[in-house]
Every structure is written in structure tokens, then in C-alpha cells.
Amino acid sequence: MNCKSLIDFLTEYDQGTLPMHQRLMFDLHLKLCPPCKKFLDDYRAAIKMGKKCCCPKQEPALEHVPEEFIQAVLKAKEAMPIPGNEPRK
């Protein structure tokens, strides 16, 4: 398992549909790769936020998102490395 394959299987991992051997490799990679662990945490946070915005029956969406928050998210996104897209040495 490497960073690129982690992204390829992210949805299946998060939904619990990966075969056990792949899930174990995924878990091991996450323990050894802090950037991928952060990527998974951010992915889960984005899914949760998307559900809040798109599924108002669960929780009401924010009527107004503060501009400071939007700018902070955009700045963090620009600074966040995407696993598997690192320059080759």
C-alpha cells in the first residue's frame, strides 16, 4: 500500500467494504504515514460537513458561512499536500 493506492481505496475503506487483507494494509499505511492519516481525517470531516449542508433533516445547514472561515479553508487546502502527488526525487 502506498499513498496513491490509499486514495484509490479511500471510499471503500471508509465504508468498511474493503477485503480484510487490504484493510489491514490500509491500517498499517495509516499508522506509518501521518500525511495520509491527516488526509483521511480531512476527508471524513468534508463528508460530515457535506452531509450537514445537503441533508437538512439531519441537522440544519448554516445559513451564512463567515468569509474568514471560507478563506481559512481555502488557504489550508492550498497548503495541504495531496498524498501521491509529491515531486519525485
pLDDT in tens, 33-87: 999 999 899 888 888 887 777 665 555 556 677 777 777 777 777 776 666 655 5
Q: Residue 30's closest CA among 49, 70, 2?
A: 2
Residue 86 lies in a domain: no
Q: How many domains does the chain have?
A: 1
Which structural domain, as residue segments, surrounds residue 25? 3-79
* Whether the model pTM is above 0.75: no
Residue 37 lies in a domain: yes
Residue 84 lies in a domain: no
Using pLDDT thresholds of 50, 70 and 90, give the confidence band for residue 6.
Answer: confident
Using pLDDT thresholds of 50, 70 and 90, give the confidence band for residue 24.
Answer: very high
Q: Is the Cβ–Cβ distance between 18 and 12 less than 8 Å?
A: yes
> Cell 470531516 identifies what position?
45
Residue 34 lies in a domain: yes
Residue 87 lies in a domain: no
What is the reported pLDDT for 59? 52
Residue 7 lies in a domain: yes
